């Protein structure tokens, strides 16, 4: 199968993914690549120093985005890449910026909606606004505060505009805030 975006096969994508895992998790030295203390490498530098695959920045993006286990993270301005886990070299991962799905959900109560419509979703006392892929989770979170309202968030658009998303170990998506223009009100 050939990928229409860059004309590359799934098999080649897998080979590049394995190569990136090797370089970013274990042996950046093998190609003379420098990682920072959090494991990030410059995509330009990675592309420049790679000789065994026909690597481009677009291809790095594609591999990171399509990887079955989301092994890689790309920063918000798409200049850096790192492996999300599995390192044998010493890096400090903390929370990993991730590419979010196209839409995420936020469960809230109807009584908060006028304020949310005005100010967007804010994190309040928490470190982040909490979002989920699961309608069931959104419903149970929102129902804690009154009559349920589930909001749909344009997370892909937010990501494209530079918002940084994280996903906790238990699959809660986290973002600093959600301005109103990314919120859809039509569901539930």
**DSSP characters over 88-150:** SS-----SPEEPPPS-EEEEEEGGGHHHHHHH-B--TTSSSEEEBS-HHHHHHHHHTTSSEEE
**Binding status of residue 122 toward ligand HQG by CB under 6 A:** yes
22 near ligand HQG, rule: CB under 6 A = no
What are the strands of the beta sheet with 97-98, ordered from one edge? 97-98, 165-167, 173-175, 129-131
Contact residue for ligand HQG among 130, 154, 159, 167 (CB under 6 A) = 130
Q: Determine if 124 is a binding residue for ligand HQG (CB under 6 A).
A: yes
Distance CA 102, CA 74 (A): 16
Binding status of residue 119 toward ligand HQG by CB under 6 A: yes
145: contact with ligand HQG by CB under 6 A: yes
* 155 forms part of the interface with ligand HQG (CB under 6 A): no
Chain residues that interact with ligand HQG, rule: CB under 6 A: 108-109, 112, 115-116, 119, 121-122, 124, 126, 130, 141, 145, 172
């Amino acid at each position: 199968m050939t990928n229409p975006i860059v004309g590359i096969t799934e098999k080649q994508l897998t080979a590049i993914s394995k190569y990136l895992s090797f370089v970013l998790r274990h042996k950046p030295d093998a190609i003379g690549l420098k990682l920072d203390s959090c494991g990030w490498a410059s995509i330009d530098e990675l592309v420049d120093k790679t000789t065994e695959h026909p690597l481009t920045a677009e291809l790095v993006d594609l591999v990171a985005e399509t990887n079955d286990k989301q092994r890689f993270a790309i920063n918000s301005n798409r200049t850096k890449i790192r492996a999300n886990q599995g390192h044998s070299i010493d890096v400090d991962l903390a929370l990993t910026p991730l590419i979010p799905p196209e839409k995420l959900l936020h469960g809230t109560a109807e009584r908060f909606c006028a304020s949310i419509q005005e100010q967007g979703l804010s994190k309040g006392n928490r470190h982040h606004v909490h979002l989920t892929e699961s309608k069931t989770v959104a419903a149970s979170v929102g129902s804690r505060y009154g009559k349920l309202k589930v909001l749909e968030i344009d997370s892909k658009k937010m990501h494209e505009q530079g918002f940084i998303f994280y996903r906790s170990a238990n699959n809660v998506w986290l973002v600093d805030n959600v301005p109103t223009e990314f919120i859809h009100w039509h569901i539930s």
